[in-house]
Amino acid sequence: MSILDKVNFPPDLNGLTIEELETLAKEIRKIIIQVVSKNGGHLSSNLGVVDLTLALHRIFNAPEDKIIWDVGHQSYTHKIITGRKDKIFSIRQRHGLSGYPDIFESEYDAINTGHASTSLAFASGMAVARDKQNKKHNIIAVIGDGALTGGVALEALNHIGQIKQRLIIILNDNKMSISPNVGGISKHLNYLVSGRPYIRLKEVIQSILRLIPAIGKSMVDIARKIEVLIRTMMVPGSLFDELGVKYIGPIHGHNIKEMIKEFEESKKYDFPVLLHVVTEKGFGYKPAMQNPSSFHSSAPFDIHDGKFIRSSKLPSYSKIFGQTVLKLIKKDKRVIALTAAMPEGTGLEIVQKKYPENFYDVGIAEQYMFDFAGGLSISGMKPVIAIYSTFLQRAIDQIIHDLTLMKLPVVVGIDRAGLVGGDGATHQGIFDIAILCSIPDIYVASPKDENELQHMVYTGVKSNKTVFVRYPKEPGKGVNLDEDFKEIPLGKSEVLREGKDGVIFAFGPLVYEAKDAAEKLSKNDKIELSVINVRFIKPLDKELILNYIKKKKRVITIEDGILEGGFGSIIKDIIVSENIKKINLLSLGVSDGIIEVASREELIEKYNLNSEGIYSEVKRFLNKKRINIFKI
């Protein structure tokens, strides 16, 4: 019988010795490696916090004590020992466990997370509420050194240090964001870990003491006292202490005994404390320790050699984006590539390697990145941002207030746009169209394939406009790339198929699904549809679109974004505002704002956005005499 067999909930940890906890940690690591090798997931971050999680749950009394996991991608051990062990192999699968904390999944999950840097603010609010209600429980925020670079975390620290509620912050420092962490805070943490000034001064004093011939006992005592004094004065906890949060550490994050002692101590303070816990990403699995970035958000892999099992050999849109930016920089050194802590995911890693002087990783700082781009742009440079759709949400004010109102040219690659597999509701890219299309004076484009992507990015940089280009994570068709860049006429659509019975408007890779569906309708049902590759969702190619709407009367819109306020509703608005009569409109898209955990294929199927779904929905729509989805 393993120790894990006996552990279902945190109180089961109480009777275990330190050795048994260490064995349990090994058992849990094995399970996590197995799970992620099958389902994919955040391997290195989870392996790094197994010991930390056991120590936390041993000392604190969840769910009464609130443990908040920043980002939440590292919560697998927490899930395993809070009643979800039997479901852990379902993680990130449809109808399975979420890969992030979810208050609807378990009472042990204090808040939902997924986007970085929110834990401290939540913890602070919860601590104030606790104190106002005269409750006594502990509130513990676990935040990584990467997430600590996020503005909202720093805003929280600033406030926490002022209002000084009782609050425990566990800083899980592994020197890594997804890639090696960046910036002054990261340097400061390294400085704290190495304790350099203290060590240097200690050496100096010891060598002075060595010069005194016979050191009596009292002298040794004095030396020790001096050392303690120096330690108090010199161990630099300065940034946090200066902000009003007591710094404790560094603490060995793979030494359960040491953590248990320090966590127990931390309960005694009636003001905010930060425990600096040093961990290693990927701890306990060699391939992940050697390559923590690749195993950060890992594809399924072979446990024996750590080799990834790729579902597609085709290059991703992100890769084509990175290559395009590389070519653009080669031609024009004013092009500057920017990422907020995602050089690998966004494909900009090759730019970072080849043109480090034309590349900036700003850390988890999406808002800053857009204003930084604004500063570059207003001064004559050509910033190109790569960002996931879901994280773009952080920077909406910067886009409106800082870029648009000054009409500053910036090109933004919106990666992971549309439905996103595995991560669930927190990581969907379904809102960008609805949000961006309401902003004046910008361009929102979506290429149907990789070749169109490179031309759009090139066109964007050349245009001196604010241009957003959205594309999904999954590879496209693997079309050949033109050798030379071509300019795509801004705001112009492309007619891909002509048919008398109606028109489908689509954009992005779903254009191919629409075209396949139209061909099947032609072959099987003698229904002939025009298919338009919309290309620019904003501004729309109004003349062409109106023309087709008026001529065809039966209009189908397709998008992998939220329907409310999305492309379909923009088309509906045009029909109404232009007072076009007798139009039947079917809008296919995402009807839920909160998306269940599932693969992209499953989600695309659920919302009838693959060729089969489009085929059957459109057939049903066209077969109806009177269409009630939307009729004017």
Of 106 and 172, nearer to ligand TPP (C-beta) is 172
454 binds ligand TPP (CB under 6 A): no
**Is the distance from CB of 538 to CB of 444 less than 8 angstroms?**
yes
* Residue tagged active-site, from 166, 281, 473, 515: 281
**Is the distance from CB of 90 to CB of 34 less than 8 angstroms?**
no
281 binds ligand TPP (CB under 6 A): yes
Q: Which amino acid is at 123?
A: A
Q: How far apart are CA 566 and CA 581, in angstroms?
A: 22
45 binds ligand TPP (CB under 6 A): yes
394 is catalytic: yes
Binding ligand TPP (rule: CB under 6 A), the pick from 364, 412, 488, 614 is 364
Q: How far apart are CA 528 and CA 543, in angstroms?
A: 22
**Which of 68-76, 86-94, 302-310, 491-499 is the region at the interface with ligand TPP (rule: CB under 6 A)?**
68-76
Q: How far apart are CA 407 and CA 397, in angstroms?
A: 14
452 is catalytic: no
92 binds ligand TPP (CB under 6 A): no
**Which residues, in sequence order, are CB contacts of 86 under 8 Å at separation 6+?**
none
* Residue tagged active-site, from 79, 92, 394, 448: 394
Contacts (CB under 6 A) with ligand TPP, residues 385-414:
391, 394
* Residue tagged active-site, from 366, 450, 474, 513: 366
Least separation in angstroms between CB 169 and ligand TPP: 13
Distance set, CA 415 to CA 247, 329, 391, 470, 589 (Å): 38, 20, 10, 6, 19
Least separation in angstroms between CB 536 and ligand TPP: 27
Q: How far apart are CA 551 and CA 547, in angstroms?
A: 6
Binding ligand TPP (rule: CB under 6 A), the pick from 78, 115, 535, 538 is 115
What separation, in Å, do the N-terminal and C-terminal C-alpha atoms of the chain show? 68
Least separation in angstroms between CB 101 and ligand TPP: 13
Binding ligand TPP (rule: CB under 6 A), the pick from 55, 91, 116, 351 is 116
**Which of 132-140, 171-179, 471-479, 595-603 is the region at the interface with ligand TPP (rule: CB under 6 A)?**
171-179
Both tokens assigned to 268: 């005694």
Pairing between β-strand 494-497 and β-strand 529-533 as defined by DSSP bridges = antiparallel
Q: How far apart are CA 181 and CA 171, in angstroms?
A: 14
189 binds ligand TPP (CB under 6 A): no
In our burial notation (b when 16+ CB lie closer than 10 A, e otherwise), range 27-46 reads bbbebbbebbbbbbbbbbbb
One character per residue 127-146, x = contact with ligand TPP (rule: CB under 6 A): -----------------xxx
Nearest-Å Rg of the Cα atoms of the chain is 28
Q: Which of 110, 181, 215 is nearest to 362 (CA)?
A: 181
Interface with ligand TPP: number of residues (CB under 6 A): 24
Least separation in angstroms between CB 178 and ligand TPP: 5
> What region, left, alpha or beta, does residue 348 occupy, with left being phi > 0 and alpha being psi -120 to 50 degrees?
alpha
Least separation in angstroms between CB 148 and ligand TPP: 7
Q: How far apart are CA 289 and CA 47, in angstroms?
A: 9
Of 152 and 467, nearer to ligand TPP (C-beta) is 152
Of 146 and 475, nearer to ligand TPP (C-beta) is 146
Token pair 């931390």 in the structure block, residue: 266
564 is catalytic: no
Least separation in angstroms between CB 24 and ligand TPP: 21
Of 7 and 52, nearer to ligand TPP (C-beta) is 52
Q: Which of 531, 508, 505, 509 is nearest to 518 (CA)?
A: 531
The site for ligand TPP (CB under 6 A) is made up of 45, 48, 71, 73-74, 115-116, 144-147, 172, 174, 176-178, 281, 340-342, 364, 366, 391, 394
Query: Looking at the annotation, which residues are catalytic?
Result: 281, 366, 394
